[in-house]
Structure 1
């Protein structure tokens, strides 16, 4: 706790945070994490960007994750990885309600320039996974498009200074390529929270492909209930189930979830 607070005080001395979300308590939490990152990485931290539900509009303070991209001057070294693990563990102890709810991708400037054409190494901590090295390739394009278009600057210049320009056409093509994987996930989705995630994600994807614009899951659901009225009841249930911690089997709605995914894919020309 002292380590995190010391970093916060040092960082606040030299930087003025200009960002603002709809949740003041989250603003303070993000400032604390940003300060701890600066204390750990120093001037190697080139930029820090918030994206995901906290920016897009679906954020639930009790269940949602916090998604961040940290741009670093060079790839994270083994020594820095160890220091960042200690920093995240200190932050976790100070904020136990955020255990397994923070995702930070640590990406080198050169790695970000090259991810479209090859596989590069980054470091990432995410729900269910400790901080570790992992590969990044073209499949990450959708994430970085969202940061490019909607990312909130915490530290540094706009994210476009680091992300090679991603067109809306590239985003839509990547989104289409990923959609078939949702059917396999739907067939494994036994509880309401997971089913909700799949249904709402499909609604948002259908909207994005039709209009070339990414919106929140809830706004996507509102649109889909009007556009596909036969599925309105199921989509409304998915909205109500959003963030549910109920892990009991809900096989009846699982069957309907699979049917909805098949329907959504058919709207895009897939035959499954």
Structure 2
């Protein structure tokens, strides 16, 4: 042997657990079938800007339902979201869905600049002036969205319970998300949901005439 470590390809990295760095996660058949193609398209779109692709959610948690469950991913890249990048990503996702139409509504993926993943969480001052993410999810095509505090839940899941598919280890890219920050985000999300639900007015039954 020449002492050089063999470079790990995306396919060989699939399912490699971040926690141990060596233990393989037994990915479901559907995920194993489509992830190499998706990784190729992401690499083609981002090129040298790609820093890492991180898998989390049911596909690594053991409760993935074949034919139903989504594949959840965080993609880290070096620069910022711009119009040129969005065009390349749209082409990449179109090609992927042409090849794998059964996953058109089963990819939940966010493209995040490294500065967002590693930096301090944003304040509660709204979305004005925040960096942009690119996101695609079931029922929602590729679009830009502000990097608000609520995304910390995705970062936390990817870092603490995810797997690095390719690129830098997730713990070197995504900051730790403290428990108190997770609790604050969950509380804010619950309050927002409550405010969006219309109040139900209960009317007393009118007395019936005898």
Q: How would you bin the TM-score normalised by the shorter chain?
A: 0.7 to 0.9
Q: Does 1:171 align with 2:146?
A: no
Q: 1:77 to 1:180 in 2, by over 3 A?
A: closer
CA distance in 1 between partners of 2:184 and 2:70 (Å): 26
Please list, as runs of the form range in 1=range in 2, the aligned pairs for 1:259-270 lying within 5 A after superposition.
none
Deviation at 1:141, TM superposition (A): 1.2
Deviation at 1:117, TM superposition (A): 2.5
Greater RCO, CA 8 A, separation 6+: 2
Residue in 2 that maps onto 1:226: none
- Unaligned regions of 5+ residues in structure 1, if any? 1-11, 189-272
- Unaligned regions of 5+ residues in structure 2, if any? 1-6, 16-25, 124-129, 200-210
Contact 1:51/1:147 (CA < 8 Å) preserved in 2? yes
Q: 1:60 to 1:186 in 2, by over 3 A?
A: farther
Give the ranges of 4+ consecutive aligned residues of structure 1 lying more than 4 Å apart after TM superposition.
12-16, 181-188
- Structure with max Cα Rg: 2
Residue in 2 that maps onto 1:63: 68
CA distance in 2 between partners of 1:166 and 1:86 (Å): 33
User: What is the SS of the residue equivalent to 2:168?
Assistant: coil
CA distance in 2 between partners of 1:38 and 1:87 (Å): 9
User: What is the SS of the residue equivalent to 2:12?
Assistant: coil
Q: 2:13 aligns with which of 12, 15, 18?
A: 18
**Higher helix fraction (1 or 2):** 1
Deviation at 1:146, TM superposition (A): 0.8
Instruction: Decide which moves more: 21-30 or 111-120.
Output: 111-120
Deviation at 1:157, TM superposition (A): 2.1
Please list, as runs of the form range in 1=range in 2, the aligned pairs for 1:248-267 lying within 5 A after superposition.
none
TM-score, reference length from structure 2: 0.74
Deviation at 1:16, TM superposition (A): 5.1
Q: 1:169 to 1:13 in 2, by over 3 A?
A: closer
Deviation at 1:136, TM superposition (A): 1.1
Deviation at 1:105, TM superposition (A): 0.8
Deviation at 1:186, TM superposition (A): 7.8
Aligned-residue CA RMSD in angstroms?
A: 2.5
